[in-house]
Structure 1
Amino acid sequence: MGYTCPYCGSGLHDEEDHYFCDFCVMDISKDQAQMGGHRIHETHQKVDPSDLKKTTPELMTYSTWSLILLLKEARKIRTPLYKDLAIARSKSRGKRDKEKADYIAAEYHEITKRMYILENILKKRLSYVPDQLTDSFLSKYEKQMNNKKTNAPMQNYEPGREN
């Protein structure tokens, strides 16, 4: 069997630099095409706190799962900064204290914006922003990613041929 569409499982027509799916009426890039009706394979990047510094277009290429893990990391970094900022502002007496409070405020605002970017990408994909990223939530989400329906190949029904 040749290459199949990752969305509907139909056979693809080989074009010059891509494939074409007649059923979906769309071009399929060579790297998206599947074999034997397999579904889209989502690759998950390993996330690292340094990924929070990536540009929005770069983050938009991450899998939803990777973005969820990165959002959890951003929130983990942001929480103590909020507490430190409140303490620094309450103790702000001299120039040195003010500089420290300003530094913490800048860090807090930076991570908050990064968090907003992640939340908004996720909102566009999931139609909501995950509230609490608990171990229970992550476990359920991971279980859904690995369920049989998600990963089972699609059946290709061709006229005149019984499957």
Structure 2
Amino acid sequence: MKTCPYCGSGVSEKAGVAYCGFCSMKGFQPVEEGQRQSRYEKKKIIDHDDIKKSTPELMTYHTVDLLKLLKLLREERRAFFSQLSMIKKGASQLPEYKPLEVQTGNDYENLTRKTWIVENILNDRIGYIPNKITDQLLLTISNRMENDRNRKPMIIKKNQEIEKGISMER
């Protein structure tokens, strides 16, 4: 039986559009037998290729993956800032370093903007921008995600005697 992914109630479908009477909501992807659904799939690894993804692609990432990506972006941005400082000193003395200074500055700006994108997606999802992302924070969130309650089906087991009494009265 198709059910609502939010409340577990049965859904009706008209022309391929699901409707939940309890939630007063339509246009969602129903699930089977009260199973819980997550819109986001966790990635096995977050790396530098993820930095190049577009904003719409990043919006499909799991929150934990976004936290990992933000940690990576901040580390990269810090490294580029250090490089930019050294290159600026060199460019002030040797003009041939000026193009390198401009390129490094552009790369730093791109990383800063990508960092802001991920921070704002996280702000929308969790209501704040984390100051620091530690391995302990990521481990705590991952452990909470593994809790059995997160996978427990949304099924209400009704007392059969009560159901029999209701059907006998009819």
Q: Shared fold (TM-score greater than 0.5)?
A: yes
User: Which residue number corresponds to residue 6 of structure 1?
Assistant: 5
Q: Who is 1:16 aligned against? A: 15
1:90 paired with 2:89, answer yes
Mapped partners of 1:70, 1:80: distance in 2? 15
SS state of the match for residue 155, structure 2? coil
Tell me how far apart the structure 2 counterparts of residues 96 and 55 of structure 1 sit (CA, whole Å): 33
Alignment of 1:84-163 (within 5 A): 84-92=83-91, 93-156=93-156, 161=163
Between the aligned partners of 1:97 and 1:111, the Cα distance in structure 2 is 21
- 1:43 counterpart letter in structure 2: E
1:58 corresponds in structure 2 to 57
Q: In structure 1, what is the Cα distance between the partners aligned to 2:12 and 2:26?
A: 9
Larger Rg: 2
Cα separation, 2, equivalents of 1:152 and 1:161: 24
Q: TM-score when scaled to structure 1?
A: 0.87
Structure 1: 5+ residue stretches without partners: none
Q: 2:32 aligns with which of 17, 30, 35?
A: 35
How far apart, in 2, do the equivalents of 1:71 and 1:154 lie?
33
Give SS of 1:91's match. Answer: helix
Query: What TM-score, normalized by structure 2, do the two folds share?
Result: 0.83
C-alpha deviation, 1:51, in angstroms: 2.2
Matches for 1:63-74 after TM superposition, within 5 Å: 63-74=62-73
Pair 145,58 (structure 1): closer, same or farther in 2 beyond 3 Å = same
2:22 is equivalent to residue 45 of structure 1: no
Structural RMSD (CA)? 2.1
C-alpha displacement of 1:52: 1.8
Identity of aligned pairs, percent? 33
Structure 2: unaligned runs, 5 residues or longer: 165-170
